[in-house]
Chain A
């Protein structure tokens, strides 16, 4: 079952406790600018959370891991005496002395199966709170989500970007030898925790893709012996076939942003085209038809256009077509072979995999094909997927050789902060779901 989390926002905490200080120290709120240049991480202090709840320390650690994991923040380990309780006056001078720029103060209380986490964010140099205090109420078992919610608030306030920590990722676990790989679909928190299994190991499954609301997955399954598309209700872990034409392979499905349509690859007589399916009725119509391979469709966030991969020019390149059809426009013109495009949820960029010689890259370009930017390089990088805020790309990195395993990695769109996801098994084909409510 999909767990629900009650998160109540307590603005009442805020007003009474923050004295109206004149804006002396700086012109605007504390903010870290994310640019392509080298960014010095912001120094943030996250001292031990108040309250006697056993999970207080764990929640603090997750908040710290979320923030430092972005590469945009550096945790100040130094402690400052004082702060004996949540809401006590902040010793700004002392925090300045240890070079903290931002300070998080929080308290965790627990009553039976319910936890309550309140926090405040302070701009140390301005000597004032940044934004309102907030309180999140959650079931004790959802303590990680409460931590991600707090980290999301801090991230959004300090970067000006939309947050993404309280989100989930669908993926394919890979076990067994390379020539007989066993694959199954799982869903996990963005940081690799709280794994829920969606399929068993009985049939080959590929490339799950979340619907925008995070309730459904579409994926390719060989359970009939032939590649066909299935849809999975995540909450109930029940799936059904969307295609079952024995003379036609169907694969590489993706939802439209409104969840009404599924774009996918349909193969007939060896030729692969792009089709659209009404997710409710199952009615299908062709969208892109050519003698070339047309595959890997991904919708623009407004649902009006689709970027896809085609080898109609002789090698795989990226094209954009309107959802009502028409002649596709080629957007990739650089060196190499382009594939697996994914349209950013912000709409501004397209991430893709690119092969140049014997090396693979994850890269981005604007939707008109300009400003191509290479983010990674390895033996084999593929299947990029966007964080819900369009700032981070997760992808599959495959190590070479007979024992080479796929691992999930993420990278900031500046190309910095490349890091493997902390998972104790091999995995591929990530699909980053939405920010959860």
Chain B
């Protein structure tokens, strides 16, 4: 512990009081992310590698940003305009990231019999597959299957949940060694 000698401390206080000046102005400066786009809100995308932005080339990006799910009307297998928009983005992504393959998984709501819903889910998956192929995705990169009503996304028993369960989910995964 440091013990101030009383006379010295008193002298110091006197000196400070005599020399009181206005405080210097505070300079403001934002800490900037040099990688962020000018519009703000953009995320650091990682280093450029092989002409592809790294984070875009992930299943996570596909699921969250491209959109991996399209929805259907009750008992329907036709693609809605909204679904086609999502699938166009999926196709674009798949055409860019050719080292990824897709499993297109069809689902149905819980009303309806188990067998019929398996077949209905297969029809929906096939509709999505055909759309992606028409957009240029290689036939051999897409497999389909149906879970029927076995894997609902929402579990309540009303239209609010059924609408979410009548869906096709495109599951992408990287192919080849080291991916």
Contact = CB atoms under 8 A, between A and B. Distances in A.
A181 to B, nearest CB: 7
Interface in A313-355: 316, 337, 339-340, 353, 355
A206 B156 CA distance: 22
Nearest to B122: A267
B120 interface: yes
A227 interface: yes
Interface string B7-28: 0000000000000000000000
Contact of A204 (B111, B115, B150, B153): B150
Interface string A196-218: 00000000101100000000000
A273 B146 CA distance: 15
A355 B111 contact: yes
Contact of B157 (A295, A340, A404): A404
Interface in B92-140: 110-116, 118-120, 122-123, 125-127, 129-130
A309 B115 contact: yes
Contact of A380 (B110, B147, B152): B110
Nearest to A403: B155
B89 interface: no
A296 interface: yes
Contact of B113 (A339, A379, A400): A339
A116 to B, nearest CB: 45
Contacts of A398: 110
Interface in B136-179: 143-147, 150-157
Contact of B116 (A177, A220, A339, A402): A339
B111 A295 contact: no
A267 B146 contact: yes
Nearest to B103: A225
Contacts of B147: 204
Given A246-B143, A309-B115, A340-B113, A179 B122 contact: no
B150 A181 contact: yes
B91 to A, nearest CB: 18
B171 to A, nearest CB: 11
A179 B152 contact: yes
Interface residues of A, number: 46
A270 interface: yes
A401 B114 contact: no
B116 A295 contact: yes
Interface in A219-245: 220, 225-227
A304 B104 CA distance: 38
A271 B123 contact: yes
Contact of B115 (A246, A252, A269, A337): A252
Contact of A265 (B111, B118, B155, B157): B118
Contact of A293 (B119, B127, B152): B119
B151 A309 contact: no
A268 to B, nearest CB: 9
A402 B150 CA distance: 13
B60 to A, nearest CB: 20
Interface centre among B110, B112, B115 (most CB of A within 10 A): B115
Contacts, number: 105
Interface string A394-428: 00001011101000000000000000000000000
Contacts of B127: 270
A270 B115 contact: no
B119 A206 contact: no
A249 B59 CA distance: 25
B55 to A, nearest CB: 28
A272 interface: yes
A293 B116 contact: yes
B115 A265 contact: yes
A27 interface: no
A252 B77 CA distance: 21
Contacts of B152: 178-179
A206 B157 contact: no
Interface in A350-394: 353, 355, 358, 360, 379-380, 382-383
B170 to A, nearest CB: 15
A353 B115 contact: no
A370 B7 CA distance: 117
A227 B107 CA distance: 13
Contacts of A246: 143
B108 to A, nearest CB: 11
Given A270-B129, A293-B123, A207 B156 contact: no
Nearest to B127: A270
A1 interface: no
Interface of B: 77, 110-116, 118-120, 122-123, 125-127, 129-130, 143-147, 150-157
Interface of A: 177-181, 204, 206-207, 220, 225-227, 246-247, 249, 251-252, 265, 267, 269-272, 293, 295-296, 309, 311, 316, 337, 339-340, 353, 355, 358, 360, 379-380, 382-383, 398, 400-402, 404, 429
25 contacts: A177-B155, A180-B151, A206-B150, A207-B114, A220-B118, A225-B145, A249-B118, A249-B145, A265-B115, A267-B118, A267-B119, A270-B127, A270-B130, A271-B123, A272-B122, A295-B116, A296-B113, A309-B116, A311-B116, A339-B112, A339-B116, A355-B111, A379-B157, A382-B113, A402-B156
Given A271-B123, A402-B155, 20 more contacts: A179-B155, A181-B150, A204-B147, A204-B150, A206-B150, A227-B118, A227-B145, A249-B145, A267-B118, A267-B119, A270-B77, A270-B122, A272-B118, A293-B116, A311-B116, A339-B113, A339-B115, A383-B114, A404-B157, A429-B114
